[in-house]
Amino acid sequence: MNDPLHQHSLNPSTSTVEQDVDFEGNFNLHSDKPELKAETELAYRLLSSLPRARLASIQRRIAPLLQFDVVASLPPEVSLQIFSYLPFQTLLTCTLVCRRWQILANDQALWRTLCHERGWRWKQPPQTAMLQSPSRFELMDADDEGMGDSDEGESDLDHESADELPEDIESAKARLTQMQMQLDSELHGNPFFANVLRIYSTNSLFPGMSTYKTRVHTSVPSYLKRVHCHYFPKPDYKLLHQTHVKLRNRFLASAYRLSALQTRGSPTDGHTNTIYCLQLYTYPTTGKQVLFTGSRDKTIREWNLTTGAVERVISGVHSGSILSLCAHGGYLASAGSDRRVVVWDLDSDTLVKTISDHEDSVLCVRFDDKKLVSCSKDRTVRIYSFPDLDASHVLRAHRAAVNAVSISGAYIASASGDRSVRLWDATTGSLLRTFDKHHSRGIASIDFALPMVLTGSSDKHIRIFDVTTLKGWSTSPEYDDFPETSNDVLPLALPSSSSCSSFICQTCGSNNVDPLPIPQHIKRPDMRCVHTDLVRTVALDDDFVLSGSYDLSIKVWDRRTGSLIADLTGGHTGRILCIGFDSKKIVSCGEDQIKLPGLERLDEQSKGNYASTAHPRLLFLPSSDMSFLKVEGTKIVDSNGHEVILRGAGLGGWMCMENFISGFPGCEYQVREALEEVIGKEKSEFFFDRFLYHFFGDKDAEFFKSLGLNCIRIAVGYRHFEGEFANDMNPRVLKADAFNHLDRAIAACAAHSIYTVIDMHTAPGGQSGGWHADGGTHLANFWRHKDFQDRLLFIWENIADRYKDNPWVAGYNVLNEPADPHPQHANLVNFYDRAYATIRAKDPNHILFFDGNTFAIDFSKFPDDVLTRWPNSSYSIHDYATFGFPASPELYEGTDKQKAEMKRVYQRKRKWADDKGLCVWNGEWGPVYGRQEYDGDQTEEINKRRYMVLKDQLEIYKQDRLSWSIWLYKDIGFQGMVHVSRETPYMKRFGEFLRRKHRLAVDAWGKDDKDVRHIYKPISEHIRQDVVQDKSKLLLYPPVWSVEERTTRLCRTMLVAEFLVMEWADLFKGLNEAELEELAESFSFDNCLKREGLNEALRNHAQE
């Protein structure tokens, strides 16, 4: 009876199946007994005698007996202990296994532990009437920044000398409920998460709720009052965890929308001078979030974030610039260049106290429930008790101006122009640690959330490290080692009661908590991604680090890895002075101002002037009203069913460089290969990277939006994502920097509310014989080798996975201008089937745009069931009008006959889609234009006719409410909305080469070949007369290529171009990186000219 198996069999609660199955799911050795062998043989014979149908039925019945759920068989507390070791993604997967696992994986204890490890608490808010007195506070967060300039306009920074907030129960429940509802789309892009969210809908938890509040992380702290109430809603820690994860994923998606707080009333409501400081704040009693700003105009303003109105102005308390603000618990503290610290009671709107102890400008002020801390240009830090504001300590260890302070629990961190960070005990005033030479220049800003210290400096870098382990990261390799301290680089041993952040990753010092996962595509940025000027303001939370700089940019970093998540530019035209953020937005202020007309004084001296008012900028993450576009019938609509007409342009030769756009001959891979041979791999990669950087940026997006346009089609080449440009020897391996520039472009567009369509412009082997397919041959080998197609699907899988949660991506243009020679287009249809399945497996939301065959004009062999076969798809035509090109059979005069012909061709291209009730998108169209240097006196007349073609096409599209994307946005002067100036270094250096290339008519696109026609015409005539006997065989595929066109493609764009490639590359010989940078910068928006006639026509047709 000592046999444990025998003991197990005596347990009456154990099933027969459990007796004969061990914990590895294998049959037990009881089966070797003679009686069992006989029974087994008998059962086998009986089964063998039964019909197949009966056997199948028996198999279904006994299948459950052969399965054994080890976890479910254990006591619940043991099962939960096993599940407690799983990350949250695995727990979510477990909910789909079976009902028992679903119950276990949804246990609140598991999710409570996960939330507490991250410091996410389920707050039990009180009824408003039950709030305790304001004297009892709980410190929740401390996000600090540095100070502003003095009245005299000179920086007070010494560079070289060195919420959770209370609310009633119903509001609290509603906030979390609405947060979940608003963010569901973040996970609905994944079918698995969609199933989970359907099971655990917040509507069933908190019905009837409508208000919503988020935790705030700003450059200054936010706090929560301790409260009591008679009733607490039951916590849902799984909902809490999912909500935080989704909020974090929105930051990772880098989809931002730029806005400026504009006053709805009089323009005088805004500040009249530079805004130096700001803080997001939520009132404890109402849950209303506002923004406080302090300015050089000596006033503090309170902004309503919903209406943009200024609701309170505090003035007369400072006689100088207001350099720093801090608000919580119904109080507001301000510090100024007048040497004062002022504390204001927000509820009663009265002054509490003015402190004038500092001997120079007060650069920063912070306070919590027990203490107020200020620092000054007088090199001191002063501590006061709170709320009585009695002086406690004066800290004098710094050797230069103390630019910023930050509070975290019982500790204070200070940053100075003497390049040091000092850590203080707030209770005793004793100096705990000095981190000397923490930066190579003065430190401008600091944020401190135990145990992490984050700093920004005039050396252009940021640095974050753990004071208990001295581990962290920086944007400069020289700071990756331990900081030099006055205590032999010893880490600080904090008491166990210290209110340290519960989430510290291994990179920053500990691995006791599993951090939230970082997508594989995020990597540490190279040196070209760091700030290029003083870092004036920093802020951090558990997941992100934000930095704002005099270089006019705000950067979002991953706190754990130091990876750059977002590079936000264009929000400011002056130096950035302060930033703050919460889960939905980033707010910033700077030296720029908005000019508002309408306040002209009546005297002649001032007549015509503008009143100068300053407003904060807001960068919003995708908000509740942001949703994926979709196809509904023949229209593109938003989530509310409102029609959205996409009007915009193709970006052009950017991540797919076409010869006529950028000025080189041949294909992109050829010029990259040649340039690498001439100047080396490192310099070549540097030039092309800088070219991509300058070609499209925030100023481009801002200008594009100013025309009223709302969509950019971004052409990308497959070589930018996998392998090497010069060859295909590394297939199906994603480049480490594959998405760097594409991410940046999409984010810049999103910041200006511009949708993007990702257009796969080239495919392995070439999807057509055109130069733009980057295949180097007139043969479309993509259709001849399945492996080429598999590789493109690999790329699409990664693209879809990356952007599946980004609603500013309107969709994916699966393949540009395919040319499948199969008579039934079988290769193309089969590839579209596979592409649809591949993309939808990762991304069920975005629209797919399918080009017709033969350069997006032929849908005749597409399947009849596309409506159900490829739902949520649109069909792309390319409607280039012959009248818009030099090859036009007649001069365009805009006659009724000519207009009718253009419309007839357009309608023929879309007829197949119209007959089936499908959505049509015009992915490319537009004339080419004359250039003075080539067309001389005829330029104006040529362009006058081309603009007529443009406008008449727009009128046709307007009648059909057609979405369209003109080709193209930017080039060197042939077709773009903007084009590179002839006075730039690039155009000057390559001017003669471009003129020679033009005379040789190497580029086929829209080029008048009059200078070389006599050379190639005999070849075409030879083929017609001597080579092809059967004249019906003259027209090969693609049929749009006549004999003359085929001769052009092979002889000019390929053969002649091949010989010119090295000549183009040789012009780079001897150039250093600074000179290469100048050439690349020639393509920046500031170095481009606008084609006003084209832009005016687009502006006039961009609106309804």
Q: Which sequence positions are flagged as catalytic? A: 817, 924
The stretches of 189-265 forming alpha helices (DSSP H) are 191-199, 202-205, 237-253
Tokens read off for 949: 């073609």
Would you put residue 142 in left (φ > 0), alpha (ψ -120 to 50) or beta? Answer: beta
What does the alpha-carbon distance between residue 985 and residue 978 come to, in Å, rounded to a whole number?
17
348: Cβ–Cβ under 8 A, 6 or more apart, which residues? Answer: none
DSSP strand pairing (223-225 vs 585-590): unpaired
Three-state secondary-structure class, residue 715: strand
Catalogue the E-assigned strands of 984-1097.
1088-1090
Tokens read off for 685: 């990669």
Rounded to an integer, what is the distance from CA 654 to the centroid of its chain? 19
Catalogue the E-assigned strands of 284-430.
289-295, 300-304, 310-314, 322-328, 331-336, 341-345, 350-355, 362-367, 371-376, 381-385, 391-395, 402-408, 411-416, 421-425
- Number of Cβ within a 10 Å radius of residue 594: 18
Please work out, in degrees rounded to the nearest 5, the angle formed at the alpha carbon of residue 954 by the alpha carbons of 953 and 960: 95
Can you give the C-alpha Rg of the chain in angstroms? 34
DSSP strand pairing (576-582 vs 585-590): antiparallel
* Residue listed under structure tokens 């609106």: 1103
Tokens read off for 47: 């089964």
Cα–Cα distances (Å) from 745 to 252, 454, 662, in that order, read 15, 28, 18
State the DSSP code for 124.
Answer: -
Length of the chain in terms of residues written: 1104
Cα–Cα distances (Å) from 228 to 134, 166, 212, 648, 946, in that order, read 13, 11, 21, 56, 73
Phi first, then psi: give them for residue 978, nearest 5 degrees: -130, 155
Tokens read off for 732: 């199906």
Please work out, in degrees rounded to the nearest 5, the angle formed at the alpha carbon of residue 284 by the alpha carbons of 280 and 285: 135
Catalogue the E-assigned strands of 776-825.
809-813
- Number of Cβ within a 10 Å radius of residue 1017: 13
DSSP strand pairing (350-355 vs 216-217): unpaired
- Identify any residues that bridge with 878 across adjacent strands, giving them in sequence order: 924
Cα–Cα distances (Å) from 971 to 170, 654, 832, 953, 967, in that order, read 57, 9, 31, 22, 10
Stretch (H or E) spanning 1076: helix 1073-1081
- Number of Cβ within a 10 Å radius of residue 213: 23
Exposed e or buried b for every residue in 174-209, given b needs 16+ CB within 10 A?
bbbbbbbbbbbbbbbbbeebeebbeeeebeebbeeb
Q: For residues 83 and 107, is the Cβ–Cβ distance under 8 A?
A: yes
What does the alpha-carbon distance between residue 308 and residue 286 come to, in Å, rounded to a whole number?
18
What does the alpha-carbon distance between residue 734 and residue 747 come to, in Å, rounded to a whole number?
21
Q: Which of 280, 270, 162 is nearest to 220 (CA)?
A: 280
Tokens read off for 294: 């302090």
